[in-house]
Amino acid sequence: MKKYLYLFFVILFACQPKTKDTSNLVSVSILPQKYFVEQIAGNLVQVNVLVPPGSSPHNYEVLPSQMKDLDKSKAWLQVGLLTLEDALKDKLANINKDLSIVNCSEGITPIAGTEHEEEGHEHSANEAFDPHIWLAPADVKIMAKNTLNALKVGFPQHSSAFDGNYTRFIARIDSVSAVIDQKLAQMKNRNILIFHPALAYYARQFNLSQIALEFDGKEPSPKHMKEIVDLAHAQNIHVIFIQKEFDPAFAQQLSREIDGKVVIIDPLDYSWEKQMLDITDKIAAQ
Ligand SMILES: [Zn+2]
């Protein structure tokens, strides 16, 4: 009996969750930022991502368990233009006063959001600016610099390692830009039709024009749908891009009306460099 009791305690002890060492924990809002942090910090920091794969950063509500991890973090590297970041900022101020909140969009010229003020219609100030800055390599270089600075403040003992990794990452971002430039050089029709307007910063950097099916962040009205169909006919567009998180019903309906096809892209994936090139290949092939 004693033996079993002993075994019981051994098992009980082994099953106790180890207290996670969170001394090197940083939080980010979206997965591509985890990629940026890891290019600079390698495994010197642990990264907590607020918006899980498959969720939209525009309407995601952070879980209480995630609030705990956020609270334990040394810093929260924000995209800087997302609604959920604004909504949480006030809650956090009451919990962890030491959490350093870093706006990674600082230094980037923001693009106005698609939501317009309507008279007599109360509009929340959310996403007055388009938040998709992580999809243009030129802007990601600025995000990377802000990330580097924040990491050096949080973990000064690793500064020189961060600096070296950062320099190499910037060189890779430059080569991603160069490859995209080259792949898009021959494109004559520089209009891209997309369900959710995620490529505004990408379009700005690579001299493309983005046409969105979503309207004011909502599903398109029949009137807007018709306008887009007419525009697509006029511009000879036969491809509509959609992110995998979104319901493809409207995109499919549109594709039938323009005799085209729906192409899925994944701009919220962790593997940022791979996705930038994948998106580019799909645009170049349209
Ligand atoms: Zn988006």
CATH number of the domain within which 266 lies: 3.40.50.1980
Ligand 1 geometric centre to CA of 155 (Å) = 31
Query: pLDDT digits over 186-216, tens only?
Result: 999 999 999 999 999 999 999 999 999 998 7
In the chain, the amino acid numbered 192 is I
Ligand 1 geometric centre to CA of 59 (Å) = 10
Last residue of a domain, one of 179, 199, 220: 179
Ranges under pLDDT 50 in the chain:
116-125
Are residues 166 and 59 part of one domain? yes
**CA angle 199-115-126, nearest 5°?**
95
Ligand 1 geometric centre to CA of 55 (Å) = 10
Are residues 144 and 38 part of one domain? yes
Ligand 1 geometric centre to CA of 190 (Å) = 21
Ligand 1 geometric centre to CA of 124 (Å) = 17
- Rounded Cα gap, residues 28 and 146, in angstroms: 13
Query: pLDDT digits over 259-282, tens only?
Result: 999 999 999 999 999 999 999 999
Ligand 1 geometric centre to CA of 247 (Å) = 13
Q: How far is CA 13 from CA 6, 7, 8, 19, in A?
A: 11, 10, 9, 13
Q: Is residue 140 part of a domain?
A: yes
CA 161 to chain centre: 25
Phi (first) and psi of residue 74, to 5 degrees: -75, -40
Ligand 1 geometric centre to CA of 256 (Å) = 24
Q: Report pTM.
A: 0.89
